[in-house]
Structure 1
Amino acid sequence: MIHQLKKLGILLGLLGCMNHSILAATSDDRSQNSDYDLDEKTLHSQEVPVDEIQRFVQIYALIKDNYVRETSDDELFEQAIKGLVSGLDRYSRYLTPTEYHQLIQYTDGDVATVDFDLSLDRAQRQWYIRGVRPNSDSAKLGIHNGMPVYKLDNTELKDLNPNQVKNILLGAVGTVINVQVAPVGQPITVVRNKKIEVEIATTLLKNQVLVIKVPVFQQETASEIKSILEQYANSKVKAVLFDLSNNPGGLLSAAVETADLFLNNGIIVTTRSRSEGSQTFQALPSKEFEGLKLGILINSRSASAAEVFTAALKEHQRAWVLGEKSYGKGVVQKLFPLPNGAAVQMTVSHYFTPNGNMIDGRGIQPDQSMPRLANIKDNTYLENVADALLKH
C-alpha cells in the first residue's frame, strides 16, 4: 500500500507541473452523446492545485491504513469523485457507467418514478415498501419489501393520501429522491428510472373555467395546448387555468414555446452561464389568444421549466398565479461523458425571469396564496382555485 501511495504522490506531483483538460460534450438541455473527439472537445486548461492534492493524498493514506474495513483504491476514488461532484449543488452528480447508460435511453421531458411501490397500513398510519424485484436497482441499495418509509424528500408521509404520495415519487427521469426508511438517520438516495407515460388532460368546470393539466413540458406541449384552445374557441369558456402542480419541468424549449403563445413581446427567460455566456429567449408578436383570461396553479413541487413558464406570464402580467411557492429549481444541466463509460451530470447555467430574478433556490411566489389542505378533495380544491381566478 505504501508503494501505491508513493506512486500516486509521484504522479500527482508531476501533474502539478503541467496542465490538465476538462472534457465535455454538450447539447440543448443535457448531452446524450458519449462519442466525442478528445481534441475537438477540449474546453480549457487550468493548473492543478498542488497543496490541495497533497492534502488529499494524506487523507487517502489515513483511510487506507486506519478505516475499520479494508477498501480498494477503485472504491476510494469512486467515492472521492462522487463527493466532488455532488458537493457542487443539489442537482450535480457523478453517474456510473450503468447509471449513465440507463439515463441516455430516455428523452428530456420524460417523467419517471422509482422501481418499487408504496402501500399504506391505515391502522398504523404507516407506509411500507412493496414490489421490490430481485436484482433491481433499489434492491442493490439494500431496499427490500416490508421496509417502512417515514419521509420522501424530507416530507412526512403519515398524513398524506395515496395520490399525494404518488406525486412525490414522480419526477423528471434520472432525478433522485431521498427515501427515509428509519425515524432517524441518513436516507437512501434512489434514482427515478421507471418511465411513466403522461398526457395533457382537460376539464371544463361548472363555472366555465377550462383546466388544462400539464404534467411536464415535452416537445409537443405548445402545439397540443394550442390545439386544445382552438377546440374551445367557440365555447363560453370564461378563463383557462393551467394546472402545473407537481410538474417537475421538462424541456426548456417547450416552456418557452408555450409561453410564447400568450405573449406579444418581451423576454421569456434568460440563461446565464460562466462557460457558455448568456442566452435570452424573446416572445414573438402574436395576438391569437390575447383576450383569454389566464391563471396558473403551482405548488411546492412545480419546478424548472414549469417555473420558467409561470414567471414569464406572471411578470408580464399575463396570468394570475395561485397556489403555493414553487420548488426553486432554475438550472440547466448537461452530461459530460467520460472515457470509462461514466458521466458527470453538472449544472452549467441558471434561469433568470424577465425581470432578472433568479429562480434557483428562490422559486416563484404566487399572486394569491392557496395552499392545498390534506383533507380536501382534488375536484373541490380546483373549483376553489378556479373561483378565485374568476374573482381576480
Structure 2
Amino acid sequence: MTQQLKALCLWISLMGCSSYSLAAEPVLAQQAAATDEDNTDNLLLTQEIPVESIQRFVQIYALVKENYVDEKPDDQLFEQAIRGLVGGLDKYSRYLSAEDYKQLLQYTEGDLASVDFDLQYDKSRHQWYIQGLRGSADSLKLGLANGMLVYKLDNQELKGLNPEQVRNILYGSVGTVLNVQTSPSSPAITVVRNKKIEIEISQTLLKNQVLVIKVPVFQQETANEIKNILEEYARNKQKINVVLFDLRNNPGGLLSAAVETADLFLNNGVIVSTKSRSEGSQTFQALPNKEFKDLKLGILINHRSASAAEVFTAALKDHSRAWVMGEKSYGKGVVQKLFPLPNGAAIQMTVSHYFTPNGSMIDGIGIEPNEKIPLAADVKDSQYIDNVTESLLKHQTPNE
C-alpha cells in the first residue's frame, strides 16, 4: 500500500469519528464553536474503526484514481465521498460546502425561499423555461442556463400546471433542495433553495363567515400574529362561524412556532414528541388555555404541507380539536442539526423524528385528512376554498 493510500486510511478513520467531536447545538443563524483537535484524538482512541470497510473503500478509491477516463484531483474525490456518505442517509441530510454553509447562515430558520432562477411559460411550445439566472448564480455552475426548458421539478412534470402550481413547487424552506430535470432523458440536477421569499400570513373573511388564515410557513412570530388576528375580530365583535387554517404548500419552518400555535387552541395534552438516538426524547405539552376554546377550527392541507405544518395539523387532529381536509400531507417529520467542520463546511443531518400525540410517526407517512377533498385541475382556487368551507360548516367539530 502506498504512502498516499496509508494517509487516506488515516484520514478516513478521522472522518469516521469527526461527527462525534464536532457536534454542535442546532444553528442556522449562528455558527457553533469548533471542537479542538485534542478532543478528536481522544475520541479516536475510544471509537471502534471499521478497518475492513475502510480498506475496501481505499481499494475502490485506488481503482477510480488510476483507471477513470478523466483524471480527478484528490480533493474532488474526497468531497464526492463525503457527499455520498451523508446524502445516502436520507433525502434530507447533506454535505454543505463552505460557500453553501456561509450562505445558509445568512438566513433564519423558518425562512421561506426559492431557487436562484424563475420559470416562464412559452405558450407556443407549451413548455416552461428558465429565466433570471445571473452570472454568479449557483445554478449556472451546475449546468443550467437561461432559456433552457424544464421538464420536471421534484419528479413532477410541469406540463399542464398553472403559474401558481409551479411557484408552489419552487418555494420551500431555506436550505432545502429541488431536483430539476430538463428533459425526459436527462439526469436531475439538484439546486438549493437559497433566495429568501417574503410572504406574510393573510386573512380573508368569506361571506359564509368562515375566516381563512393562510400560513405560508411557521416563523417565530406566527403564534402571536394569529392570536392578534383572532383577538381583533373579537374586539370588533365580528361574527366568525369557523376558522380555517390554510396550510397548503406550507413546507414547515420552526417546530417551536408550530408548538406555540397549537398551544393557542389546546388546553392540555401532548402536542408533539421527538425521539432521537443521540439527542434523547422530548415531549411538548399544551399549557392550560381557554381563550379560544369555543372557536370552531378547520385545517386544509395538501401533499406539499410538511414538517412543522404536519406537527400543527396532527396535534389538533389527534385531540379532535380541528377537522382536517384536503389531501394527505408530505410526510417530513424530522429534526435536523448543522455540524460545522473545521474547513468551514458543514453537515446538515437528521437527528430526531417527530411523533404525533397518538404516537404515530410522521416521516414517510404523512397526515391523512379527516375528509379528502382533492383540488381538480380545472377548478379555480377561490371555488375550491368555497367548496372546502361549505363542507367544513356542515361538520360539527367537537371541542375539548
2:25 is matched with 27
The CA deviation string for residues 206-263 of structure 1, in whole angstroms up to 9 with x for no partner, is: 1110000000000000000000001111211100000000000000000000000000
Q: State the match for 1:296 in structure 2.
A: 299
Instruction: Identify which of 227, 236, 244 aligns with 2:247.
Output: 244
**Match for 1:22: what amino acid?**
Y
CA distance, structure 2, for counterparts of residue 385 and residue 41 of structure 1: 57
- C-alpha distance in structure 2 between counterparts of 1:327 and 1:115, whole Å: 24
Q: Verify: 1:265 aligned to 2:268, yes or no.
A: yes
CA distance in structure 2 between the aligned counterparts of 1:54 and 1:354, rounded to whole angstroms: 46
CA distance in 1, matches of 2:158, 2:89: 29
Change (3 A) 1:60 1:220: same
Query: What do the CA deviations read for 1:170-227 (whole angstroms, capped 9, x no partner)?
Result: 0000100000111123210000000011100000111110000000000000000000
Say whether residues 1:345 and 2:355 are aligned partners.
no
Is 1:382 aligned to residue 385 of structure 2?
Answer: yes
Tell me by how many angstroms 1:4 deviates.
Answer: 2.2
**Counterparts of 1:274 and 1:24 in 2: how far apart (Å)?**
17
Contact 1:260 1:283 in 2 (8 A): yes
SS of alignment partner, residue 47 of structure 1: coil
> In the alignment, which residue of structure 2 is the partner of 1:70?
71
Partner of 2:125, secondary structure, is coil
Q: Unaligned 5+ residue runs, structure 1? A: none
Matched length: 389
* 1:36 corresponds to which of 34, 37, 43: 34
- Does structure 2 retain, via aligned residues, the 8 Å contact 1:20–1:46? no
Give me the whole-angstrom Cα distance separating, in 2, the residues matched to 1:21 and 1:199: 37
Structure 1 residue 7, shift from structure 2 partner: 4.1
Contact between 2:28 and 2:104, CA under 8 Å: does it hold in 1?
A: no
TM-score, structure 2 normalization: 0.93
User: Counterpart of 1:320 in structure 2: which amino acid?
Assistant: W
1:108-166 CA-to-partner distances (Å, cap 9, x unmatched) read: 11000011110111232210011111121111111101111011101111110001100
1:112: which partner in 2? 113
**1:361, CA displacement in angstroms?**
0.3
How far residue 377 of structure 1 moved from its aligned partner, in angstroms, is 1.0
Rounded Cα–Cα distance in structure 2 between residues aligned with 1:70 and 1:214: 50
The alignment status of 1:86 with 2:87, answered yes or no, reads yes
Asked if the contact 1:21/1:46 (under 8 Å) is kept, the reply is: no
Q: Secondary structure at the match of 1:390?
A: helix
Partner of residue 100, structure 2: 99
Partner residue in 2 for 1:359: 362
- Sort the Cα spacing of 1:332 and 1:20 in 2 relative to 1 into closer, same or farther, 3 A: closer
Q: Which amino acid aligns with 2:22?
A: A
Indicate whether 1:323 and 2:326 are aligned. yes
Q: Please provide the CA RMSD for this pair.
A: 2.1
Matched, 1:311 2:314: yes
> Within 2, Cα distance between the matches of 1:378 and 1:361?
28
Residues 239 and 294 of structure 1 are in contact (CA less than 8 Å); yes or no, is this contact kept in structure 2?
yes
Letter in 2 for 1:5: L
The offset of 1:378, in angstroms, is 1.3
Measured in 1, the distance between the counterparts of 2:372 and 2:383 equals 16
Query: Percent same amino acid at aligned positions?
Result: 69
Change (3 A) 1:366 1:29: farther
Shift of 1:373: 1.3
Bigger drift between 87-96 and 367-376 goes to 367-376
Partner of 2:158: 157
Offset at 1:31? 7.6
Following TM superposition, by how much is the alpha carbon of 1:269 offset from its aligned partner in structure 2, in angstroms?
0.1
Separation in 1, partners of 2:6, 2:231: 71
CA distance in structure 2 between the aligned counterparts of 1:143 and 1:111, rounded to whole angstroms: 23
Match of 2:216 in 1: 215
Q: Which amino acid aligns with 2:97?
A: T
2:255 is equivalent to residue 255 of structure 1: no
Report the TM-score, using the length of structure 1 for normalisation.
Answer: 0.95
Q: 1:149 to 1:21 in 2, by over 3 A?
A: closer
Evaluate the alpha carbon distance shift between residue 132 and residue 36 of structure 1 in structure 2; reply closer, same or farther with a 3 A threshold.
same
Conservation of the 8 A alpha-carbon contact between 1:29 and 1:251: no
- Indicate the residue corresponding to 1:277 in structure 2: 280
Question: 1:174: which partner in 2?
Answer: 175
**2:29 touches 2:108 (CA, 8 Å); kept in 1?**
no
Which 4+ runs in 1 deviate beyond 4 A?
18-21, 28-31, 39-45
Cross-structure match for 2:198: 197
> By how many angstroms is 1:300 displaced?
0.5
- Please, which moves more after superposition, 22-31 or 43-52? 22-31
- Aligned with 2:328: secondary structure? coil
- For residues 76 and 276 of structure 1, do their structure 2 counterparts lie closer, same or farther at Cα, with a shift above 3 Å needed? same
2-structure distance, mates of 1:147, 1:350 = 38
Distance verdict in 2 for CA 1:313–1:39, change over 3 Å: farther
The Cα shift of 1:39 comes to 7.3
Change (3 A) 1:21 1:206: closer
1:310-354 CA distance string (max 9 Å, x none) = 000000000000000000000000000000000000000000000
